[in-house]
Structure 1
């Protein structure tokens, strides 16, 4: 099952662009749609899915939908209402996977700057996630952006283990320790920014933030050489690498040709020599794209680890 990341923010993109990409993705065979409350596009996703359901082109059980609890509503007493709002926008009776989007509740201080709420514990929020799961409103629950430390703490304080941890993973930041821990405990991994998110700087500049240096996976000489060997693109090699590690990748694109390109990775395999060359590209956290620097005071929170 290939995955489509619907994370175009409403203020930065046209709804019809995302609708076109969603239709293209479903036509191409994508059967996992990943969205979130903070992406502000659950209504678009719901509208497209309803079209497919009404036309008998897709049954509900044939599509896997992930959405996420917003860090802005990440309070124990808001979990159920936040889920209900997402279900209404998605026009669904349930979602297949519901994630805590971020381990820190985001609020604002007296000056209006975003910061982490000092008194909200993600463990308490998780207990409410367990309740909505037990009520049958979601098929599985999980987390996103949780570190080794946070996964370990959650495992010691949960009734239901998270089914999934969605984290940034790509060839330059492979997160082996975190993946090994999750795998040991039966927690599946989903990789966001699997191609490095070259467009992240456009987002930063669009909100008045300074652009940052982002390593270019698609122009990496090693990736290009392996791509040439297999008559594929560097993007396809990066996605195939994750697939062979057992990691679900959610590449972001609203360009129809790239949507089709990203799913065309099932007719070849990387050999161990290829895999080892790509493993050697790992440089660790210094290659992180999403450092959440858009929230100026978030790094003052004791649970901030980015």
Structure 2
């Protein structure tokens, strides 16, 4: 097996190879907590979005072990739902939920990509001592790095447009998000009519991290990113580049905001119930208090509330 690879190829093998991280039995939920795991209010908000948009099908891309679809099945059983993932169909999935490795073509679809784009492998680049932008290579056994060939061609053009490093100091890094742009364009292109929502931690414009965002996660903790299949390897998403790719693929009505604002617009406010309710209906009060706590986690500043929500419509409104 080759020992030195680009981060894109090393991550692809580590996450999606035959023994890859995302093919493990415990699934993503065994290692990190997403909005889906935090509260059923997340699924309810997406069901409300589907209803408001006149859509009757939900396609969950990067569905993990089907947690979102199972929640939707309970909340809105009238919705047809399909999970898309490289992993085999989970045994716990109700028979009514579809499953497969490819995004199906569809009409009247709400396509949800919750923390999917960040796990599409990308190349990492770094400015060397002479100011040349080079591809970073990684030892797949140890995670140690070295600088490889200079960046050129389409990758150089992507950097020039979205993450310019022309005047950057040595050591500055970037992640080339072109594979994510292409994946989102293909996903949007599968919708004959519908709404596509990408939810992820990311950055735009002047907010790019100067030394990149490459990280590893295992069992709820951040660990060194070693692409050996034992941990998640991820980078934040250049959301403005993804949005432009969606528009180039024929989508429109682009809205890019935070999860905090998106969920509040869908009624997930986190407002505490009036204390008077505790005297007249204690059960309802406790239920509302629980919902307020869960809504607070979903919209928390410095946490899940900072995630980006990119929403695009096809055909364009």
Please give the TM-score of this superposition, normalised by the length of structure 2.
0.32
Q: Normalized per residue, which structure has more helix? A: 1
Please give the TM-score of this superposition, normalised by the length of structure 1.
0.33
Larger radius of gyration: 2
